[in-house]
Amino acid sequence: MTNPNPLQKYFRQPAIYIKLPSEGRYWPQGSIEMTPNRELSVYPMTAMDEITNRTADGLFNGQSVVSVIQSCIPHIKDAWQVPSVDLDTILVGIRMASYGHEMDFESKCTHCNEANQFALDLRVVLEQIKMPDYDTTVQFGDLEIYFQPLSYRSMTENSLEQFEDQKILQSLVEAEMPEAQKMEILQGALYKLAKLTMNALGDSISMIKAGDDIVDNKDHIKDFLQNADKKIYAAVRDKVQAMRDQATLKPVTAQCNSCNQTYETPFTLDNANFFESGS
């Protein structure tokens, strides 16, 4: 038997506890161990977590975020499966556990364009995160469409492919090649972007009831979206967009140090610097 580490009592301890907006719904079996009171303990980041989070490739492909989440919230066993509705709560919780509830935030005044820096209370941000309405379905005749949030894996894969396509489109501006060839590449890239949008919509559908049939096969659902009446496609797209809007963090209200006017500025969680103590 291995002797216990005498320093174990000095290991990091939970700093805060959080409740997920989903309360454990939409997580695949085995990806999370939900506690009886639905509260998850959040540990501060270790030095290794901070090093991991500064790895450029890991930030780009999402692996760094996955590693930090699983390190700081041991109840989460597979962070790739984090539903999009829980991601902001998890990231804010880890930031608070590691550096406290205040975060330096910089923005430009919309009245005088002056840069302002102030301390943002992340407890307020945490309280404002709401669970979108995933229970309301979209119905067309005997079709009933049910929805679910995207997983962190789906979000990351979609973002990576969009990034690659955008690089192609940007490179076309200065590329020296015949216009016909440019148009061919442009059409291919635009088609791929449209396909990515279609796939994201398909991943946002949990199942479709069609009469007595229940369809939850992703390939069948995406095939349906590609061949459905445009009214059905538009209704699905609008429903998914409405749920994204419900989950979007509210703008931060600030007062300019220069002109003393109040203004609103967007607040987003940038994984590249959100976990830096001085950010």
Give backbone dihedrals phi and psi of 272, rounded to 5 degrees, phi first.
-70, -30
Q: Is the pLDDT of residue 172 over 90?
A: no
Contact 87, 20 (CB under 8 A): no
Are 224 and 256 within one domain?
A: no
Give a yes or no: residue 212 inside a domain.
yes
- The confidence band for 11, taking pLDDT boundaries of 50, 70 and 90, is very high
Does residue 276 fall inside a structural domain? no
Whether 161 and 203 map to the same domain: the answer is: yes
Q: What is the pTM of this model?
A: 0.87
Predicted confidence band of residue 57 (pLDDT cuts 50, 70, 90) = low
- The β-bridge relationship of strands 39-42 and 143-147 is unpaired
Same domain (yes/no): 181, 234: yes
Q: Is the dihedral of CA 67, 73, 76, 77 positive or negative?
A: positive
Which residue bears the tokens 């679910």?
Answer: 148
Q: Is residue 272 part of a domain?
A: no
Residue pLDDT, tens place only, 178-235 = 777 778 877 887 888 888 889 999 999 999 999 999 999 999 999 999 999 999 999 9
Q: Is 103 buried (19+), middle (13-18) or exposed (0-12) by CB count in 10 A?
A: buried
Contacts of 150 by beta carbon, 8 Å cutoff, 6+ apart: 83, 84, 158, 200, 203, 204
Rounded Cα distance between 56 and 162, Å, is 18
Residues of 178-210 as b/e, b for ≥16 C-beta within 10 angstroms?
A: eeeeeeeeeeebeeebeebeebbbbbbbebbee
Indicate if the pLDDT at residue 162 is higher than 50: yes
Residue from 79, 72, 81, 90 nearest 21 by CA? 90
Domain that holds residue 90: 11-129+251-265
Span 105-131, average pLDDT: 91
Give yes or no for residue 279 having a pLDDT over 60. Answer: no
* Residue 223 belongs to a domain: yes
Helix intervals (H) in the chain: 47-52, 56-61, 63-72, 84-99, 122-128, 152-174, 179-203, 218-227, 230-247
Residues 23-38 pLDDT 10s: 999 999 999 999 999 9
Smallest CA-to-CA distance from 202 within 251, 160, 151 is with 151
Does residue 159 sit in the same domain as residue 111?
no
Tell me: do 169 and 200 sit in the same domain. Answer: yes
Q: What is the average pLDDT score of the chain?
A: 89
Q: What is the pLDDT of residue 56?
A: 65
**Lowest mean pLDDT segment, chosen from 56-70, 209-223, 243-257:** 56-70
Do 124 and 18 lie in one domain? The reply is: yes
Segment 263-278 shows an average pLDDT of 72
Lowest mean pLDDT among 40-49, 77-86, 97-106, 190-199: 190-199
User: Do residue 19 and residue 88 come from a single domain?
Assistant: yes
- The DSSP 8-state label assigned to residue 10 in this structure reads G
Q: Residue 42 in contact with residue 72, Cβ under 8 Å? A: yes
Domains: count for the chain = 2
pLDDT > 90? residue 236: yes
Is the domain of 230 the same as that of 145?
A: yes
Residue 115 shares a structural domain with residue 217: no
Is residue 279, in this structure, part of any structural domain at all? no
Count other C-beta atoms under 10 Å from residue 245's C-beta.
Answer: 9
State whether 120 and 20 are in the same domain.
yes
Residue 274, domain member (yes or no): no
275 domain-assigned: no
Tell me the two tokens of residue 175.
Answer: 């590329």
The DSSP result for 75-104, as a single string, is: TBS-GGG-BHHHHHHHHHHHHHHHH-SEEE
Same domain, 98 and 191: no
Residues 37 and 73 in one domain: yes
